[in-house]
Chains A and B, each alone.
Chain A
């Protein structure tokens, strides 16, 4: 590093050298015959390069020029900024989704062996009816276990004496759903096989979030009765935090505050083939 060059960072030094240079070149031009020295502007330009900061001053000049040009065309500036913003935003969003759904492993046991199966009719994905599900369950031999869930619908109304009524998103699942995913309740138990028979469902499993927020993280809630859609449901279990807090194969937007076995309709989630 030539420390001499550093002083040329100062505008005053540069101005001084510039003056000296002009004076010297004028004196030489007077000394020599006209035209003998060639292009003096170019010579001065090349001499300035010796200061070593040409790249910086041309960078500053370019930035100034760019800013001025942009300010003169605000419409273009707006379009450019918007294009960049949307481009960056779209990339970030796509990566977030890819990361959550594809790159990060599912928080389930043996996630690589889980498959989501849809019924198709006329080339389109369609929901599975309850009788179909029962047929698949008893007649298919490609899967270790089959479960079904329904995340559609308007959510579930919770009401109770002394508590604000509220509507929460929920999931209807078969009794095989939680064992298949390898997710175990933190408190209480999962659904029993007989509890997902049509017309029998009167049990509910709470998510960690709902349990904490609405029921004050009271462990004694298990075994108690709460009002769901105006009916009495018995709380049989509470899911651990990871269940609702992480990315899921099933639509994460549901949030899983509430799990209710009812008569089954909907799409199926199935364990992988052997």
Chain B
């Protein structure tokens, strides 16, 4: 499934809410939490991490993985946490607005789609 434009930053911040992760781990966590529905390209994730870091919403530090390999771990900063709260309520409003327009699928349209 393609990501909606502008949602990647939010997904990264949300994922880091549960603890520090390295770049590869973040991509895997998003894939897992979305039940394999969201495939994050590392090529877009990595620049997003650098962007968030410069904005001061995440910070990075070298550390060891569970398998004793070196990697750079990203964690949420207080500013990032604050930003995530804002993004979260914006996202909730957005979903509510779209849902009230779309509503449940009308039976007639569903029947039409089956015939066609």
Which A residues fall within an 8 A CB radius of B?
2, 4-5, 20-21, 23-25, 27-28, 30-32, 36-40, 42-44, 46-47, 49-52
Interface string of B43-72 (1 = CB under 8 A from A): 110110111011110000000010001111
Q: How far, in angstroms, from A236 to B50 measured CA to CA in the complex?
A: 88
Smallest distance from the beta carbon of A210 to chain B beta carbons, Å? 74
Interface string of B72-85 (1 = CB under 8 A from A): 10000000000000
Structural contact, A47 and B71, CB atoms closer than 8 A = no
A27-B56 contact in complex given A32-B24, A38-B41, A43-B46, C-beta closer than 8 Å: no
B23 located at the interface, meaning its Cβ lies under 8 Å from any Cβ of chain A in the complex: yes
Please pick, from A28, A37, A43, the residue contacting B47 in the complex, using a CB distance under 8 A: A43
B42 located at the interface, meaning its Cβ lies under 8 Å from any Cβ of chain A in the complex: yes
Structural contact, B22 and A31, CB atoms closer than 8 A = yes
| Residue in chain A with minimal CB distance to B22 | A28
Structural contact, A30 and B69, CB atoms closer than 8 A = yes
Smallest distance from the beta carbon of A33 to chain B beta carbons, Å? 10
Structural contact, A47 and B54, CB atoms closer than 8 A = no
Smallest distance from the beta carbon of A13 to chain B beta carbons, Å? 12
Which B residues fall within an 8 A CB radius of A?
22-24, 41-44, 46-47, 49-51, 53-56, 65, 69-72
Structural contact, A27 and B70, CB atoms closer than 8 A = yes
Structural contact, A27 and B42, CB atoms closer than 8 A = no
Interface hub of A25, A43, A44, A49 (most chain B Cβ within 10 A): A43
Structural contact, A47 and B46, CB atoms closer than 8 A = yes
Interface of chain A, helix or strand or loop or mixed? helix
Q: How far, in angstroms, from A52 to B47 measured CA to CA in the complex?
A: 12
Smallest distance from the beta carbon of B4 to chain A beta carbons, Å? 19
Q: How far, in angstroms, from A39 to B42 measured CA to CA in the complex?
A: 9
Please pick, from A2, A21, A25, the residue contacting B54 in the complex, using a CB distance under 8 A: A2
Structural contact, B24 and A47, CB atoms closer than 8 A = no
Chain A residues with CB under 8 Å of B54's CB are 2, 4-5, 50-52
15 contacts between A and B (CB under 8 A): A4-B55, A4-B56, A31-B22, A31-B65, A36-B42, A37-B24, A43-B46, A44-B46, A47-B46, A47-B50, A49-B47, A50-B47, A50-B50, A50-B51, A50-B53
Smallest distance from the beta carbon of B99 to chain A beta carbons, Å? 33
Chain A residues with CB under 8 Å of B43's CB are 37-39, 42-43, 46
Smallest distance from the beta carbon of B79 to chain A beta carbons, Å? 12
Please pick, from A4, A5, A27, A46, the residue contacting B46 in the complex, using a CB distance under 8 A: A46
Please pick, from B44, B51, B53, B71, the residue contacting A27 in the complex, using a CB distance under 8 A: B71
| Residue in chain A with minimal CB distance to B52 | A50
Smallest distance from the beta carbon of A43 to chain B beta carbons, Å? 4
A31-B69 contact in complex given A37-B42, A43-B43, A47-B50, C-beta closer than 8 Å: yes
The 7 tightest CB contacts between A and B, nearest first, are A46-B47, A50-B50, A47-B50, A43-B46, A50-B51, A37-B42, A47-B47
Q: How far, in angstroms, from A31 to B22 measured CA to CA in the complex?
A: 10
Q: How far, in angstroms, from A8 to B73 measured CA to CA in the complex?
A: 22
Smallest distance from the beta carbon of B55 to chain A beta carbons, Å? 7
Please pick, from A4, A23, A31, A44, the residue contacting B24 in the complex, using a CB distance under 8 A: A31
Smallest distance from the beta carbon of A38 to chain B beta carbons, Å? 5
Structural contact, B71 and A31, CB atoms closer than 8 A = yes
Smallest distance from the beta carbon of B45 to chain A beta carbons, Å? 8
